[in-house]
Amino acid sequence: MQPDALTVVSYFHTPKGKVAMSRFVVGSPLADLLGTAESTDELARMIMINKPDVIFVEFDSEDNELLKILENSKADGKSHLVTFSEHAEPSDLRLAMRLGAVEFLTSDLHSSDFNETLNFIMREATIAAEKQGKLLMVTGVKENVGATTFALNLAWMLSQNYHNRVCLFDMDLAFGDLSVLLDKASKRPIMEIVENYKSLDAAFLKNVVTEISKDLFLLPSPANQIYADEVSLAHIEQVMFLLLNSYDIVIVDMPPRLEEIALATWDYAYRVLLLMDPTVTVLSRAQRYLEMVGRLDPNGTKIVPIINRYGSKGGLGQKVVSKILGDRKAVILPNDSKTMIKVANAGLAVVNEYPKSRWCKDLRIFVEDSLRSFTEADSEKRKRGGLLGAKKDDGGEE
């Protein structure tokens, strides 16, 4: 493959289409032609096997098989569509655009027009790569260990105290309560995504998230548990892709169940922040959890155990905790239940209302130390914006 070239799979169904494909693609310094299909079945196989950067087709608005292939390709989101027709009817143009076409070429155009289209795709891909955010998955070993509260305050701190656009995604689809904690009515954003899945893009997603504060947004769980059953893995993966290309940081509040969607989220996550409290039953479950997910984190670098409510009455000491967790270094957050209950009932964030509390101070240390470590280790990607922006001068928090 030539340097800086895009892989292309093409399709034609008329002799004129064949000539045009050859004129546009063959010899283009920006195109690496993987194959040319003469039937829709062959086109579908080529797309599935090669996953090309560009699908270049002779367009036919009455070919239902072709339209179905292009719809599936748009939903998959891995290829850019470029279409050709001898003449461009307005209805064909509208349909092609709805199917995600980047360009609609006609027979009176030249190979330079095709090259310009490929240049445009390359520029857009570069911009998307630079926007690529990082996903932090927050989950508890079990219910009621403070994972949702932690996720909310982590999102608030990263968005309000650092220059980051953050989206908080409530992935407890059946019983999520981030919208309750934030006092924001949960409408039907997830169901709007499901119902409009085939036309889902960044602009659509922007209209279904809720702005909580400057640079902080929420994608809440459904208000009704019945809706949760209609959300599939494909829906979630498409949402993840769009969120990561729209925000600096995506924080996912995940229920403590290792189900299909949770395991898929692992693939997107840069860090999995595993919340637990210092009790025998919870730490015992944490030990089993870490054993189960060991194959997903072979180097032991993705999971960060977080001991919440440390120092609470009846809680275990650090020596016992270390013995149970083994070599994994845990982050310790102190017990501050009175403050937590007070702000939760008021729909507020602890880091905003009580920034000098011990819990907030330790959370800030975790944010700065761990994310700085990430930035240093991933210096090649720091130009994308990074997780740590320049700290705002807020005049007080220590």
Domain boundaries, the chain: 6-129, 132-384
Say yes or no: do domains 6-129 and 132-384 share a fold.
yes
Mean pLDDT of the chain: 82
pLDDT-derived band at 86 (thresholds 50, 70, 90) equals confident
- The per-residue pLDDT for 338 is 81
pLDDT-derived band at 260 (thresholds 50, 70, 90) equals confident
The DSSP 8-state label assigned to residue 391 in this structure reads B
Task: Calculate what percentage of the chain has a pLDDT beyond 90.
Answer: 31
Q: Is 345 exposed, middle or buried (0-12, 13-18, 19+ CB in 10 A)?
A: exposed
SS3 95: helix
Of residues 375 and 267, more confidently modeled: 267
Fold type of domain 6-129: Rossmann fold (3.40.50)
- The per-residue pLDDT for 261 is 82
- The per-residue pLDDT for 282 is 92
Of residues 383 and 199, more confidently modeled: 199
- The per-residue pLDDT for 145 is 92
What mean pLDDT is predicted for residues 49-62? 93
Contact 330, 275 (CB under 8 A): no
Task: Tell me: pLDDT of 153 over 90.
Answer: yes
- CA distances from residue 151 to 56, 169, 189, 342 in whole angstroms, order as listed: 43, 10, 20, 17
- The per-residue pLDDT for 391 is 37
pLDDT-derived band at 98 (thresholds 50, 70, 90) equals confident
Contact 251, 218 (CB under 8 A): no
Q: What is the pLDDT of residues 137-149, one digit of tens each?
A: 999 999 989 999 9
- The per-residue pLDDT for 124 is 66
Q: And the tokens for 2? A: 């030539």
pLDDT-derived band at 2 (thresholds 50, 70, 90) equals very low
Superfamily of domain 132-384: P-loop containing nucleotide triphosphate hydrolases (3.40.50.300)
- The per-residue pLDDT for 373 is 65
Among 25-39, 185-199, 253-267, 302-316, the minimum mean pLDDT is found in: 185-199
Task: Tell me: pLDDT of 307 over 90.
Answer: yes
Q: What is the pLDDT of residues 119-132, one digit of tens each?
A: 888 876 665 555 57
What mean pLDDT is predicted for residues 378-388? 42
What mean pLDDT is predicted for residues 274-291? 90
**Does the predicted TM-score (pTM) go above 0.85?**
no
Contact 251, 209 (CB under 8 A): no
Task: Tell me: pLDDT of 170 over 50.
Answer: yes
Measure CA 368 to chain center.
Answer: 22
- The per-residue pLDDT for 384 is 37
